[in-house]
Structure formats: structure tokens, C-alpha cells
Amino acid sequence: MTVIALDLPEGDPAPQRTPPPRPKPHESALTPGDSSRYDVRFASRASGIVSSVMRDLMSLSERPEIISLAGGFPNTESFEREIFEEVAAAVARDHLTSALQYGPTEGLVELRERIVEVMAHEGARAGVDDIMVTSGGQQAIDLSIRTFVNPGDTILAEGPTYPGAVPCFTTYEARVEQIPMDDDGLRIDLVEEALTRLAAEGRPPKLLYTIPNFHNPGGVTMSLERRQRLIELAHERELLIVEDNPYGQIRFEGDPLPTLWELDDGAGWVIYASTFSKILAPGVRVGWVAAPAAVLRKMNLGKQAADLCSSTISQRVIIEYLRRHDWRDYVARLNDIYRSRRDAMLRALEEELPADAHWSRPQGGLFVWATLPDYLDTTHLLARAVDQHEVAFVPGRGAFLDGRGGNSMRLNYSGVAEPLISEGVRRIGLAVEEMAEMHRALGGG
Ligand SMILES: Cc1ncc(COP(=O)(O)O)c(C=O)c1O
């Protein structure tokens, strides 16, 4: 074997090599835009799928000149290379054969035991048999909707909702009723009204999808009183709740609140979803769902159809990491970084956005939700912001299924260094000012 010694700086970036010539695509009778052959064949569910704007904007994060406040990126720079090397070496040394092998659909037992401990840290009691490992929290959402929703079924969600859940809702052809939030999270009084109305219309919702902690994108947290009322309501009206909780431990201010799972106290009206993406790293693509046995059995079948099992390599990496290191220390470090980035963003918004704009002040999580005056459309603003000012955010419409949210936007602070947060918000402020100026020039108020 020839070993070529390369004199490289430590770590990324990868060595510069002359790229091999790109293979030419083979001759095709179809132009890239021509889908007529397939249009007649696409399933109705494929034609109706709406993409997540968030994903569409992902490519911008690869353009270094753009400051992207659009991502939902945790700060993976804080993860120490030495720890990753140690963990990866332990997997290679002690578990190579099994890590390279298929695993059980529900996930490796030792990981499920660790997940029970992670949940306990947030006061959520569960047993190993309540847990199924999923390929990211995203798969937990997909499996929940796939398991319960027929085409045309109604579901409830917050308005705005997690943009990444929108393709799940549309894939399974759900009718989504979005209920407003305020500073205390989802308006449970309006959930109650919706339940009454939908029952009268003969279409009671199959489930409510909610993100009680540090809502993505809303930035708000459901108060204790509302959590208790929601669980009462679930019990009174037999409402199934999907509690999506990726951010519960990403709290940098205030006191932790009980999960809906815990408040339900084993009554079986809550399906709980979470993930290692935010407390460890999204690249591992490992999340989990906790649910009553009858529901888990169906979800397990859905997962068999989707991907057989989650990556055994990733599961092993997480197990080895959790065995050797205290994940809570890492999360505490992340939370310190996020608190100061959140502060930088709030300061910049105060300085750069017009007086009639308002925004959330999150005590945790990764996002601020900002709302501009009605006459400003953030989808148009985004085009201008990217083209003229090289800054991106997620326009609010992506978080609604009914066209609302046109004057709002989601801003991420976790994945961007403080000077870039200030500069990014300054550029958004410029784009806002230019659009407001155009509006005035056209005779607007
Ligand atoms: C509310 C919410 N649910 C689920 C997910 C998906 O997480 P994962 O990376 O574990 O698939 C995210 C990711 O940003 C999220 O914000």
C-alpha cells in the first residue's frame, strides 16, 4: 500500500484537489422541467405535498456570502473533536460487527434505557418498553400522522406550526386547523372552541400536534396553567395529543415545566416525541417516540415500512457517548452560548426593526418569531434580502397551511456567531426600510 503523507492543517477544511470532470448526464428526451409523463401517474398525495420552506432555503446556507438566519442549526462547533474521536474509536473497537449490522426496529435496548434517563431529567417518567427509537424527531412526527390520519381527516396544530411538519401533514392529506398562540403558548380556550365546532361539523380532530417548549417557530412556551387545562381537555374530550419536545432541555432562562406526557400520567392521551438533534447533534439523525403499547405497535409497523430500523452506527455512537460523558454538561454549555446569541439577536432587533414590529423573547430553543406591519410581505422581503443584502430568514407563510403568516418571519440565533447575528439583523432592517419606503412611494400609509 502506498501511503502519501499530506501536510495538512488539523481538521476541516478538506484538502484541495483538482476536482475530476463532472460526468455528463446521459442524453434525455425530457427537459428538466418536463414532468408531463409522470403527472398523470403521481399519487394524489404526491401532488398535494407542500415542501418545507425551511428545506428549500437550506441551499442558501452553502453560499458563504449569505448570512443565513434561516437554518435551525444547533451549534455543533461546541462538540469537542477529541470526544468524538474517543467515542468513534470505542464503537470501532468494541462494537464494530453489531454497529455495521441491522438492528431491531424499535431501537437498541441500551439506547432506549438511556432515553428513559434523558426523559427523567426533564421529569418525564417512561419505561424502556414505552420507547421506540426513530430516525430523528422528524420521523416521529411522520409516523404519528401516518398512523392516525386518513386523507381528509382533521388535525389541530398551532398557528404558526413547525415548517418541517407541513410536508407530513400534506403527505397524509390532513385538513389542518391552526390555532393561535400568545405569549403563554397555544390558546387552549380556542382549542376548546375548535373541538366544539368540529364535533358539531361531524369531523372531530384525530389529534392535536403541539410543541409546548420554545416553539419552533413561535419562540413561546406553553404556561403550566395551559398545560394542565389542555390535559384536562384531552381527558374530557378524548383528544389525542402529539407532544413534540425537541427543545425542552434547551432552556437558558426560567424554571422547567412538566411535559404533557408527565401530566397525562399514563392515561394514554399523549404521544411524546423528542430527539438527540438539539442536545447532541442533528447529524446522528436519532430521535424517539414514547407512546402507549397499542400505538407503538402500529408505529413500529410504519417504521418497518419506512426504513426497517434507525442507523445502528448512530445509535452506538450515542450509547458510547452517553456512557462516557455527562450530556448535561454539554447541554449547559450550549445553553450559555444560546443565551448570549439570543441576547445579541434581541438587541439587534430593537435597534434595526421599525417601532411597529414585534417579536417573541424566547427563554430557550433556537428561534425568534418576528412580525412586521401588515403591509410588509416577508416572502417578497426575503427575495430582496437575499439578492440585495445577502441575508436569509424563513418567511412566515411556511409555518401556515392557509396562506397566513405573510408579515412574519422566523429568525435563528443558535447556529450563527454573535457578530453575524447583529450584521444579519442590520441587513434585514435595511431591506425592511427599503420595502416600507416603496410602500410609502406607492401611496401607502
Ligand atoms: C419542532 C421540531 N420537531 C422536530 C424536528 C426534527 O428534529 P430531528 O432533527 O430530530 O429530525 C425539529 C427540527 O428542527 C423541530 O424543530
53-79+329-441 is a CATH 3.90.1150.10 domain? yes
Q: What is the pLDDT of residue 207?
A: 98
pLDDT tens per residue, range 32-70? 778 888 888 888 888 777 666 666 676 666 778 899 999
Q: What is the pLDDT of residue 9?
A: 39
| 193/231 Cα distance (integer angstroms) | 15
pLDDT at 299 over 80: yes
Query: Any idea where the domains of the chain sit in the sequence?
Result: 53-79+329-441, 81-324
Which atom of ligand 1 sits closest to the CA of residue 139? 11
Lowest mean pLDDT among 8-17, 189-198, 246-255, 350-359: 8-17
Ligand 1 pocket, residues with Cβ under 6 angstroms: 72, 136-138, 162, 164, 211, 216, 244, 246, 275, 277, 282, 287
Pairing of strands 270-275, 241-244: parallel
Q: What are the CA-CA distances from residue 145 to residues 107, 164, 170, 181, 434 (Å)?
A: 20, 13, 10, 22, 42
- Residue 319's CB: how many other CB atoms inside 10 A? 21
Mean pLDDT of 129-146: 98
H-helix or E-strand containing 156?
A: strand 154-159
pLDDT band at residue 7 under the 50/70/90 scheme: very low
Instruction: Measure 246 CA to ligand 1 centroid, in angstroms.
Output: 6
- Model pTM score: 0.92
The β-bridge partners of 179 are 158
Instruction: Measure 138 CA to ligand 1 centroid, in angstroms.
Output: 5
pLDDT tens per residue, range 373-430? 999 999 999 999 999 999 999 999 999 999 999 999 999 999 999 999 999 999 999 9
- Mutate which of 57, 76, 158, 162 for ligand 1? The one with the most ligand atoms within 8 Å of its CB, which is 162
Average pLDDT over the chain, rounded to an integer: 92
pLDDT at 306 over 80: yes
Q: What is the pLDDT of residue 2?
A: 35
Instruction: Measure 285 CA to ligand 1 centroid, in angstroms.
Output: 10
Instruction: Measure 137 CA to ligand 1 centroid, in angstroms.
Output: 5
pLDDT tens per residue, range 89-126? 999 999 999 999 999 999 999 999 999 999 999 999 99
- Mutate which of 53, 55, 118, 138 for ligand 1? The one with the most ligand atoms within 8 Å of its CB, which is 138
DSSP three-state, residue 124: coil
pLDDT band at residue 442 under the 50/70/90 scheme: confident
Provide the CATH number for the domain formed by 81-324 in this structure.
Answer: 3.40.640.10
Q: Is 229 exposed, middle or buried (0-12, 13-18, 19+ CB in 10 A)?
A: middle
C-alpha 405, offset from chain centre: 18
Instruction: Measure 280 CA to ligand 1 centroid, in angstroms.
Output: 13
| 107/318 Cα distance (integer angstroms) | 12
pLDDT band at residue 6 under the 50/70/90 scheme: very low
Task: Classify each residue of 380-401 as buried b or exposed e, where b means 16 or more C-beta atoms within 10 Å of its C-beta.
Answer: ebbebbbeebbbbbbbbbbbbb
Q: What DSSP designation does 399 have?
A: G
pLDDT at 11 over 70: no
